[in-house]
Chains A and B, each alone.
Chain A
Amino acid sequence: MKKYYLGEFEEIVLLATAILHKSAYGVAIKEEIESQLDREVSMGALHTALLRLEDKGYIRSATGEATEERAGRPRNYYEITALGKKAITHAKESREKMWNAIPKVVLELRGF
Chain B
Amino acid sequence: MKNLPPRTLVRLFRWYCHPRLANHIEGDLIEVYRKRLSKFSKRKADFRFLVDIILLFRPGIIRPVASQHLNRFDMYKNYLKMTLRVFNRERLYSLINISGLAVGFSCCLLIYLFIADELSYDKFHNDGDRIYRVSGAYMRQGQWEPYASNAWKTAELIKTNYTEVEQLTRIFSDNNTLFEYGDKRIVENSLAWVDDNFLSMFNFPMLQGNPAEALKDPNKVVITRSTASKYFGADDPMGKVFKLSDYPIELQVSGIIEDMPSNSHFHYDFLISGATLRQVVPEGLFTNVGWDSQFVYIKLASDVDPARIEATFPDFVNTHLDFWKSTTFKLFLQPLESIHLESNIGNEIESNGSLTRIYTFGVIAIFILVIACVNYMNLTTARSLRRAKEVGMRKVIGAKRGDLLSQFLMESFVMITVATILAFLICFTVLPAFNDFAGKQIPRNVLANPQIISGLLISLVAMALVTGLYPALMLSSFRPLNSMKMNNGTGGSAGLIFRKGLVLLQFVISIGLIAASAIVYSQWEFMKNKDLGINDNAIMAVPLQTMDRKKISSFTSELQSDPSITRIGLSNMQLPGWIGNSTGYRAQDVNADDEVNKSMKIIRIDYDFLSTIEAQMIEGRNFSRDTPADTISSIILNEAAVEQLKWKEGTGKWMEMQNRRYNVVGVVKDFHFESLHRKIPPTIFIFSPQQLNWAYIKVDNSKIEDAVSHIGNVYPKYVTNRDFSFSFLDEDMQKQYAGEQKFSQVFALFTGLAIIIACLGTFGLISFSAERKSKEIGIRKILGASVGNVSFLLVKEFVMLLLIASVVAWPLTYYLLNGWIQSFIYRISIGVMPFAIATVLAAFIVILTTGFRALKAALANPVESLRE
Binding site for B on A (CB under 8 A): 25-27, 30, 42-45, 47-48, 51-52, 63, 66, 68-71, 73-76
Contacts and interface: CB of A to CB of B under 8 A. Distances in A.
Contacts of A45: 55
Interface stretch (B26-34, B91-99, B231-239, B594-602): B26-34
Contact of B55 (A25, A44, A73): A44
Contacts of A43: 25, 28-29, 32, 52, 55-56
A70 B31 contact: yes
B24 interface: yes
A63 B55 contact: no
Contacts of B23: 73-74
B57 interface: yes
16 contacts: A27-B28, A30-B28, A42-B55, A43-B56, A44-B54, A44-B55, A44-B56, A44-B58, A47-B25, A51-B60, A51-B61, A52-B60, A68-B1, A70-B30, A70-B31, A73-B26
B56 A47 contact: yes
Contact of A69 (B31, B51, B60): B31
Contacts of B60: 48, 51-52
Given A43-B56, A45-B55, A75-B24, 11 more contacts: A27-B31, A27-B35, A43-B32, A43-B52, A48-B58, A48-B60, A66-B27, A69-B34, A70-B31, A73-B23, A73-B27
A3 to B, nearest CB: 22
B396 interface: no
Given A30-B32, A42-B52, A42-B55, A47 B27 contact: no
Interface string B259-293: 00000000000000000000000000000000000
B406 to A, nearest CB: 32
Nearest to B1: A68
B719 interface: no
Contacts of B30: 70-71, 73
A6 to B, nearest CB: 17
B25 A70 contact: no
B4 to A, nearest CB: 6
B4 A71 contact: yes
Contact of B1 (A30, A44, A71, A74): A71
B38 to A, nearest CB: 11
Nearest to A42: B55
Most buried by A among B35, B56, B58: B56
B430 interface: no
B24 A74 contact: yes
A98 to B, nearest CB: 31
Contact of B24 (A26, A42, A44, A71): A26
Contacts of A42: 51-52, 55
B21 interface: yes
Most buried by A among B23, B28, B57: B28
Contacts of B25: 26, 43, 47
A47 B31 CA distance: 15
Contacts of B28: 25-27, 30, 43, 47, 70
A44 B57 CA distance: 7
B24 A76 contact: yes
A44 B54 CA distance: 8
A44 B31 contact: no
Contacts of B32: 27, 30, 43
Contacts of B27: 26, 66, 70-71, 73-76
Contacts of B56: 43-44, 47
B298 to A, nearest CB: 71
A76 B20 CA distance: 11
A44 B1 CA distance: 26
Contact of B61 (A47, A70, A74): A47
Give the secondary structure class of B's interface.
Answer: helix
A94 B843 CA distance: 94
Contacts of A25: 24, 28
A12 B805 CA distance: 77
Contacts of B35: 27
Nearest to A55: B60
Most buried by B among A68, A73, A76: A73
Most buried by A among B21, B25, B57: B25
Q: What are the 9 A-B residue pairs with the smallest beta carbon separation, nearest first?
A: A73-B27, A44-B55, A26-B28, A76-B24, A70-B27, A44-B56, A42-B55, A43-B52, A27-B31
A63 to B, nearest CB: 7
Interface in B538-560: none
Interface in B7-33: 21, 23-32
A110 B586 CA distance: 126
Contacts of B21: 47, 51
Contacts of B52: 42-44
A42 B54 CA distance: 10
A53 to B, nearest CB: 11
A69 B1 contact: yes
Contacts of A47: 21, 25, 28, 56, 61
A106 B29 CA distance: 45
A42 B49 CA distance: 10
Nearest to A52: B60
Contacts of A44: 52, 54-58, 61
Contacts of A70: 27-28, 30-31
A44 B25 CA distance: 9
A66 to B, nearest CB: 8
B171 to A, nearest CB: 77
Nearest to B4: A71
A48 B24 contact: no
Nearest to A77: B24
Nearest to A73: B27
A20 to B, nearest CB: 14
Most buried by B among A47, A52, A76: A47
A71 B27 CA distance: 7
A13 B534 CA distance: 109
B7 to A, nearest CB: 12
Nearest to A66: B27
A18 B28 CA distance: 19
A110 B694 CA distance: 125
B788 to A, nearest CB: 71
B43 to A, nearest CB: 19
A66 B31 CA distance: 12
A47 B4 CA distance: 21
A10 to B, nearest CB: 13
Nearest to B24: A76
A76 B55 CA distance: 20
Contacts of A26: 24-25, 27-28, 31
Contacts of A52: 60
A26 B60 CA distance: 16
Contacts of A63: 24
Contacts of A69: 1, 31, 34
A32 to B, nearest CB: 13
A70 B1 CA distance: 10
A27 B30 CA distance: 10
Contacts of B26: 73
Contacts of B31: 26-27, 69-70
A72 B34 CA distance: 13
Interface string B53-71: 0111110110000000000
Contacts of A51: 21, 60-61
A34 to B, nearest CB: 11
A75 B25 CA distance: 8
Contacts of B4: 71
A111 to B, nearest CB: 38
Nearest to B5: A71
A75 B21 CA distance: 11
A52 B55 CA distance: 16
Nearest to B17: A47
A52 B30 CA distance: 23
A72 B709 CA distance: 112
B868 to A, nearest CB: 56
A27 B58 CA distance: 19
